[in-house]
Amino acid sequence: MKGWMGKFRALSLLGLLALVLTGCGRENLTALKPKGYGAQTSYDLIILTTVVMSIVLLVVAIVYITVLVRFRKKKGKENFIPKQVEGNKVLETIWTVIPIVLLIIIAVPTTIATFDLADTKGAKDKLNVEVTGNQYWWHFNYKGQEIQTSQDLYIPTGEKVYLNMKSSDVIHSFWVPSLAGKMDVNPENENTMYIKADEEGVYWGKCAELCGPSHSLMDFKIVAVSPDEFDQWVNDMQGVDPKAVAEGDTAKEGQELFNEKNCMSCHAIGSSPVQVGPNLTDFGNRSKVAGIMDHNKENVVKWIMDPESVKPGNKMTNNYPELSDEEASKIADYLMQLNPSEVTLESAGD
Ligand code: HEC
Ligand SMILES: [Cu+2]
């Protein structure tokens, strides 16, 4: 392919790619369909700046094309020089003042939104959750509630929920595009933010800071349920007896194996603060295994037998005794039974 045809081809391919990629994204993983206060605020700013910039683009394009057409070299007028307007006070004033006005139109709402979204003064008598980012999963500790959980963060709709965020290892970034902007999660200092969901639903979250080989697999969910359902969920979670004996022979054996095989040194069931690995109190209620695989027994067994093949570099690999398929299957039976609440991702509409 030579000359302009080659360029044309590359260009049309690029255009096609752009078209196809705009189709990417999930309903509950996009900043362009805001479902919460922070995301709505950011979205409004995106629209405002896009409108202002489009007007600027349009005006500049019109002026540019007009000048190009009107003042180009014409036949018979090769030596014609248009009137010179250098130093024209009116023009200079116009193109100094208009950009200033446009910048003010953008800056004022942006500054107000920035302070508003960082305002955590109201945190005291609201729901506070301590969020910990870990390679490659998220932990949630409901302050003063004796509830610890991982992977899925349940919140009531219509309320600001305040997050105090830290990392146990490297820098991560907490991002639920449909609900709020990103927040870095650092090992040294605590960052704070709040989230507020308008509607019930399951909102997908991602780690947005490269944190290791399984960074792109560090997914989590925000499960927004009605305030009543949330109260019920809190009750159910607080009522969990970590020592309750599993139902059914295999699950019972699985429970014993879970205790024998060192799983407990990293995974807590109940409100114990151990968090080397995800808290499994409501593991049976989750929609994913390890945050990414479909939630079924087969995948639980797969994870227990070979976590490395699912999430390279995770901290569970090689840190527990070897298990047979049968043992893993029994443990999976036990873990799938850990479903303390009727309030689940399904009741939030997932
Ligand atoms: C050295 C600590 C450690 C030990 C011991 C350990 N795990 Fe894990 N486990 C982890 C970590 C860390 C993760 C999270 C991995 C990730 O997502 O990056 C995990 C994840 C899991 C998950 C997925 C949890 C979820 O929320 O989806 C299951 C299930 C699990 N482990 C079961 C077990 C079982 C069963 C045993 C015992 C045979 C065990 N683990 C032993 C650290 C450990
Ligand atoms: Cu991360």
Which architecture characterizes domain 28-117 according to CATH?
Orthogonal Bundle (1.10)
What is the number of residues in the chain? 350
Same topology between domain 28-117 and domain 123-350: no
Q: What are phi and psi of 215, to 5 degrees?
A: -50, -45
pLDDT band at 12 (very low <50, low <70, confident <90, very high): confident
- What mean pLDDT value characterizes the chain? 92
Residues 6+ apart with CB under 8 A from 182: 173, 174, 175, 208
State whether the beta carbon of 88 lies less than 6 angstroms from ligand 1: no
37 vs 194: CA distance, rounded Å = 9
Other beta carbons less than 10 A from residue 323's beta carbon: 17
Strands (E), the chain: 128-134, 137-142, 147-150, 152-156, 161-167, 172-175, 183-185, 191-195, 201-207, 220-225, 288-289, 293-294
Closest Cα to atom 43, ligand 1: which residue? 316
Report whether 157 contacts 183 (CB < 8 A): no
14 vs 104: CA distance, rounded Å = 36
> Considering the domain 123-350 in this protein, what is its CATH number?
2.60.40.420
pLDDT in tens, 196-240: 999 999 999 999 999 999 999 999 999 999 999 999 999 999 999
pLDDT band at 22 (very low <50, low <70, confident <90, very high): low
DSSP string, 212-260: STTGGG--EEEEEE-HHHHHHHHHHHHT--TTPPPSSHHHHHHHHHHHH
36 vs 158: CA distance, rounded Å = 9
Q: Domain limits of the chain? A: 28-117, 123-350
State whether the beta carbon of 153 lies less than 6 angstroms from ligand 1: no
pLDDT in tens, 104-163: 999 999 999 999 999 998 888 899 999 999 999 999 999 999 999 999 999 999 999 999
Ligand nearest to the CA of 215: 2
SS3 state at 155: strand
Cα distances from 89 to residues 60, 84, 148, 280, in angstroms, run 20, 13, 67, 72
State whether the beta carbon of 277 lies less than 6 angstroms from ligand 1: yes
| Mean predicted confidence (pLDDT) in 81-93 | 89
State whether the beta carbon of 151 lies less than 6 angstroms from ligand 1: yes
